[in-house]
């Protein structure tokens, strides 16, 4: 039986089976050139379940936090790297320290010092022994003395998470001395300043990778850790380097990767995450709106490599390992989760409900990103503006986001150009397109801020305009249903148009309604014939679609005389003159566009002018979309009736349409 959202897992059936019960593999997607195996589906299920364990522990559920027997028995990292205990310690207690200097040199020094050992106990030992850990107060001898004594006591000073090279080329007989020397070399070469100026995560990676004993994997881990700080501000979706475990996980997830490199496969996974969770019917709880980044997808490949050793032993991968060494033991020390402030998620974490709080329920699959309103977005975007306007006359600050809009629009078009050129082989089209749209949104928000406008108000007004124009036309809100039968426009009727020539051989038009002439004979009233003599079609289109046409009311004898003021204002001479003016206006517009042949819309300027002309009349209740529909239908019939030199027009107010009977 399935669990309700947020319900604590039941433990009664967790430990009875001698082997893990494997989930049904389910169908695999067609994602050529990649050929997925059953481990591919497990990758997404593992990510979702491991993240669910994270939230259940955060929310205060008692163990066990999962029914997955492999997760119950073995130790795995979090779905998000930054949520792991060591990363949390680094972020909160090493990087963002109010009692230590926060300039790039000091921040990079602390990060490297912590990460080269990657062990909380080692950092705390040094801090207890030598005081504040600063580069200004750094002493090789003092640090070496503390670490050497610890090793002599048999204490571990390195984490088992990474295999750290001995760095013997740096001249010392003990690993930690070489690593202290490595830090000195990095700082003496002004690495922090070079990282600040790097410009990209890839360039920063190269700067770190250039030092002795630092391979690809460690350089990528270190640049990611430095990027948690304010020293750099790279997008984690910009760059990725797979580690050895990740490579093995990729080989287990895919029987064949075609010509895609391992970094490209990781990018593919990051780009595809929402689609795959949806395909498998999994509600993935993101990190308060933050998607899985490249570093997280890379780590997940490493973790699913271990997970598959038990769940998919038939798929051996590269190393052929069959056991997971580390057993799970819950650490009783609580973590107060806190992330880099530039991620803007710490407020959501602080407000996240726990068991025993005033919250009535624990939300199992909340997506806080869907709750963000545009006002909140604008406020948060404003904080990331590096060129704030000191005053309204600051032209540089005002022009940067305006030019940014143009530049990002070009980037967006460039990505689509690549898609048109490369088709489905442009595997990261969606990821790049989303990124460019996001940049456009940021610049749009910045422009609004600097001109004193609210993004929420702009959005609401624009949506109202679009719904008026492009929503489903509703027709007129006015109605003559309450008027006497003789004052109501007929709901369906026909008007016959005949083309004739007068004594001077000028083309004329006669129209008939119920056997009687419908208005006067009409000519084009132009030096050259253009078909305007058939323009009564537009009056009929107004009547059909808008439920409004003072001229049609007059010609059909349906003026509303029972209400003198309505007769005067709505059905009288001025209203008829306005309608004739609108007919002439749209006809002039149509001439410039081949009388709207193949054109499904008209200009917003034309519709705005029309609405201004009728703003005091009952037809003002009709939307711009209603007017557009009337104009398009009018020209459709007008073109055909002009071509035939006449015909019978069917006007249907109930269907809100006019059509031309077949000849």
Give the separation between CA 466 and CA 464, rounded to whole angstroms.
5
Is residue 518 located within the same domain as residue 637?
yes
Counting Cβ atoms within 10 Å, is residue 349 exposed (0-12), middle (13-18) or buried (19+)? middle
Is residue 442 located within the same domain as residue 557?
no
Query: Token pair for residue 292?
Result: 């899985």
298: closest CA among 256, 257, 245, 343? 245
Q: Which domain range does residue 257 map to?
A: 38-82+242-350
State the Cα torsion 235-238-242-243 to the nearest 10°: -30
At 443, which CATH number? 1.10.287.1080
Is residue 276 located within the same domain as residue 381?
no
Is residue 218 located within the same domain as residue 102?
yes
Give the separation between CA 382 and CA 388, rounded to whole angstroms.
8
- Unique residue bearing structure tokens 């143009």: 406
In this structure, is residue 129 part of a structural domain?
Answer: yes
Side-chain half-sphere exposure of 380, counting CA atoms within 13 A: 14
In this structure, is residue 3 part of a structural domain?
Answer: no
Q: Which of the residues in the chain have pLDDT under 50?
A: 1-18, 356-370, 473, 475-478
Q: Residue 6 has what pLDDT?
A: 41
State the Cα torsion 139-141-143-144 to the nearest 10°: 150
600 touches 625 (CB < 8 A)? no
Side-chain half-sphere exposure of 362, counting CA atoms within 13 A: 20
Is residue 415 located within the same domain as residue 307?
no
Name 546's Cβ contacts closer than 8 Å, sequence gap at least 6: 475, 476, 619, 622, 626, 627, 630
The residue length of the chain stands at: 663
Give the separation between CA 541 and CA 636, rounded to whole angstroms.
10
Domain total of the chain = 4
| pTM listed for this prediction | 0.54
In this structure, is residue 58 part of a structural domain?
Answer: yes
Is residue 388 located within the same domain as residue 465?
yes
SS3 112: helix
Angle at 518 between CA 517 and CA 521, to 5 degrees: 75
602: closest CA among 583, 584, 589? 589
Name 163's Cβ contacts closer than 8 Å, sequence gap at least 6: none
> Which backbone phi and psi does 121 adopt, to 5 degrees?
-65, -35
348: closest CA among 363, 361, 333? 363
Task: Give the end of a domain, one of 178, 194, 227.
Answer: 227
Give the separation between CA 34 and CA 16, rounded to whole angstroms.
38
> Which backbone phi and psi does 649 adopt, to 5 degrees?
-100, 130
Give the separation between CA 95 and CA 104, rounded to whole angstroms.
11
Give the separation between CA 436 and CA 414, rounded to whole angstroms.
10
DSSP-derived secondary structure letter, 91: I
Give the separation between CA 567 and CA 559, rounded to whole angstroms.
6
- What pLDDT digit, counting tens, does each position of 364-420 carry? 333 333 457 888 888 888 888 888 877 767 888 888 888 989 988 888 898 888 888
7: closest CA among 366, 367, 288, 363? 363
In this structure, is residue 92 part of a structural domain?
Answer: no
In this structure, is residue 455 part of a structural domain?
Answer: yes
In this structure, is residue 198 part of a structural domain?
Answer: yes
List Cα–Cα distances, 351 to 163, 291, 347, in angstroms. Answer: 38, 20, 6
Is residue 517 located within the same domain as residue 589?
yes
Max CA separation in the chain (angstroms): 122
Is the preceding peptide bond at 64 cis, omega within 30 degrees of 0? yes
174: closest CA among 142, 144, 135? 144
SS3 287: strand
Is residue 633 located within the same domain as residue 525?
yes
In this structure, is residue 11 part of a structural domain?
Answer: no
Task: Give the end of a domain, one of 470, 496, 530.
Answer: 470
Is residue 496 located within the same domain as residue 617?
yes
Task: Give the end of a domain, one of 350, 383, 407.
Answer: 350
Is residue 70 located within the same domain as residue 115?
no
SS3 651: strand
In this structure, is residue 298 part of a structural domain?
Answer: yes
Q: Residue 56 has what pLDDT?
A: 93
Give the separation between CA 237 and CA 225, rounded to whole angstroms.
14
Query: Token pair for residue 108?
Result: 């990079």
> Which backbone phi and psi does 642 adopt, to 5 degrees?
-70, -40
Is residue 60 located within the same domain as residue 120?
no
- What pLDDT digit, counting tens, does each position of 457-491 carry? 888 888 877 776 666 545 444 468 788 989 999 99
List Cα–Cα distances, 9 to 12, 89, 238, in angstroms. Answer: 9, 29, 38
Give the separation between CA 120 and CA 140, rounded to whole angstroms.
20
Is residue 454 located within the same domain as residue 490?
no
List Cα–Cα distances, 203 to 110, 220, 294, in angstroms. Answer: 21, 11, 17
């Amino acid at each position: 039986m399935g669990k309700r959202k947020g319900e604590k897992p039941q433990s009664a059936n967790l430990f009875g089976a001698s082997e893990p019960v494997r989930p049904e593999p389910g169908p695999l997607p067609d994602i050529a050139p990649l050929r997925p195996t059953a481990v591919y589906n497990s990758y997404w299920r593992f990510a979702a379940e491991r993240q669910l364990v994270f939230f259940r522990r955060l929310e205060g559920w008692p163990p066990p936090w999962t029914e997955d027997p492999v997760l119950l028995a073995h130790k795995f990292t979090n779905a998000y790297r930054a949520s792991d205990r060591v990363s949390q310690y680094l972020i909160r207690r090493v990087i963002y320290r109010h009692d230590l200097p926060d300039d790039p040199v000091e921040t990079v020094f602390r990060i490297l010092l912590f990460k080269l050992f990657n062990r909380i106990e080692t950092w705390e030992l040094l801090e207890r022994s030598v005081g504040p850990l600063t580069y200004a107060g750094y002493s090789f001898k003092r640090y070496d003395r503390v670490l050497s004594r610890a090793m002599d006591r048999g204490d571990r000073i390195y984490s088992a998470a990474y295999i750290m090279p001995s760095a013997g080329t740096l001249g010392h007989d003990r690993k930690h001395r070489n690593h202290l020397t490595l830090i000195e070399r990095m700082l003496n070469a002004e690495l922090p300043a070079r990282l600040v100026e790097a410009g990209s995560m890839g360039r920063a990676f190269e700067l770190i990778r250039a030092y002795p004993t630092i391979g690809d994997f460690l350089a990528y881990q270190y640049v990611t850790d430095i990027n948690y700080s304010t020293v750099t501000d790279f997008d984690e979706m910009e760059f990725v380097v797979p580690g050895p475990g990740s490579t093995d996980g990729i080989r287990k997830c895919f029987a064949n990767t075609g010509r895609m490199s391992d970094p490209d496969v990781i990018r593919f996974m990051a780009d595809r995450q929402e689609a795959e969770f949806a395909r498998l019917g999994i509600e993935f709880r993101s990190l308060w709106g933050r998607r899985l980044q490249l570093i997280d997808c890379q780590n997940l490949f490493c973790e699913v490599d271990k997970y598959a050793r038990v769940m998919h032993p038939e798929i051996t991968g590269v190393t052929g390992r069959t056991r997971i060494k580390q057993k799970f033991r819950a650490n009783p020390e609580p973590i107060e989760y806190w992330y880099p402030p530039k991620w803007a998620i710490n407020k959501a974490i602080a407000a996240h409900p726990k068991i025993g709080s005033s919250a009535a329920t624990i939300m199992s699959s909340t997506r806080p990103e869907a709750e963000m309103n545009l006002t909140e977005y604008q406020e948060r975007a404003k904080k990331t503006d590096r060129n704030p306007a000191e005053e309204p006359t600051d032209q540089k600050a005002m022009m940067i986001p305006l030019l940014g809009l143009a530049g990002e629009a070009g980037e967006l078009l460039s990505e689509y150009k690549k898609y048109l050129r490369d088709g489905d082989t442009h595997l990261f089209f969606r990821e790049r397109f989303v990124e460019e749209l996001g940049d456009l949104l940021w610049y749009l928000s910045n422009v609004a801020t600097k001109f004193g406008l609210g993004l929420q108000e702009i959005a609401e007004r624009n949506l109202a305009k679009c719904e008026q124009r492009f929503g489903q036309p509703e027709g007129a809100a006015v109605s003559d249903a309450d008027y006497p039968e003789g004052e109501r426009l007929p709901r369906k009727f026909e008007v016959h148009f005949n083309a004739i020539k007068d004594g001077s051989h000028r083309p004329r038009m006669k129209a008939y309604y119920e056997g009687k002439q419908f208005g006067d004979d009409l000519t084009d009233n132009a030096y050259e014939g253009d078909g305007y003599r058939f323009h009564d079609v537009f009056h009929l289109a107004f009547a059909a679609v808008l439920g409004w046409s003072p001229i049609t009311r007059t010609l059909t004898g349906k003026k509303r005389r029972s209400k003198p003021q309505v007769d005067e204002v709505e059905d009288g001479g001025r209203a008829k003159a306005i309608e004739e003016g609108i007919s002439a206006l749209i006809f002039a517009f149509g001439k410039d566009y081949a009388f709207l042949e193949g054109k499904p819309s008209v200009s917003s300027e034309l519709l705005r002018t029309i609405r201004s002309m009728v703003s005091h009349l009952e037809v003002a209740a009709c939307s711009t979309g209603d007017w557009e529909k009337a104009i398009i239908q009018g020209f459709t019939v007008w073109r055909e009736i002009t071509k035939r030199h006449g015909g019978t027009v069917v006007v249907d107010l109930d269907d809100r349409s006019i059509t031309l009977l077949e000849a």
